[in-house]
Amino acid sequence: MSGLDAQRALIATACRVLAHRGLAPGVLGHVSLRVGTDRCLVRCRGPQERGLAFSEPSDVRLVSLDGELLEEATGYAVPTELPLHTEVLRARPDVAAVVHAHPPDTVAADLAGLAVRPIVGAYDIPGAHLAAGGVPVYPRAVLVRDRVLAGEMVAALGDRPVVILRGHGLTATGRSVEEAVLRARSVDTLAAMTLAVARAGGIPRDLPPADLAELPDLGGGFTHDTAWRHEVASLP
């Protein structure tokens, strides 16, 4: 496959992974990947839209950061919340990929006033380290459909990898599509664990600093490559 074709296939697979893991139920959510300085590939809505679980490479189209479709795509429309992607890409040169999803456990935990914190250790080491740095919250439950709202969300995100959107979902970033998806999954795993502890009558508590410091970096070959192969192999 050509470079763009391979990237389209990767984004489509990422969308299916999000749906399979329950982070993007139904037809809501999208994934983007930076292509050059002023363009990105993004999962668009097609004429036979069936939802993220059924994403195909043809659903992934090349667009400018101003939202213009840059190739013939009859019947396709860019996501209403495209600015959510493009403003992150404009503001964060360290980011190559953006995931926007609607995981119910993440939304529920935030609405219950339960922050995503490093409450587990070896259960999810990358997630623990991510949460230890803090997972910010954008407090408006709106469609992020223009540059003003997207700018507010980006400000809430700051230099962190993931931001929760109250009453809405989350936006995750990464140096790759795979990393952005795995970060979204880690945050949702922690949110689900936090809810489970609260339902059991417990109080979610951060790991002791000594335990957090003891958690090793297992390397990208394991935490990214192997984890991603597992996600893809798990698809129905």
Q: Domains (ranges, CATH) in the chain? A: 3-233 (3.40.225.10)
109-152, pLDDT tens digit by residue?
999 999 999 999 999 999 999 999 999 999 999 999 999 999 99
33-82, pLDDT tens digit by residue?
999 999 999 999 988 899 999 999 999 999 999 999 998 878 899 999 99
DSSP label at residue 65: T
How high is the pLDDT of residue 220?
Answer: 84
Rounded average pLDDT over 190-212? 97
What's the predicted TM-score (pTM) here? 0.96
8-41, pLDDT tens digit by residue?
999 999 999 999 999 998 899 999 999 999 999 9
* Cβ proximity of 59 and 43 under 8 Å: yes
Among candidate residues 49, 56, 68, 81, the one labeled active-site is 81
How far apart CA 21 and CA 185 sit, in angstroms, is 8
Whether 81 sits among the annotated catalytic residues: the reply is: yes
How high is the pLDDT of residue 218?
Answer: 87
| CB neighbour list of residue 230: distance below 8 Å, 6 or more residues apart | none
23: left (phi over 0), alpha (psi -120 to 50) or beta: alpha
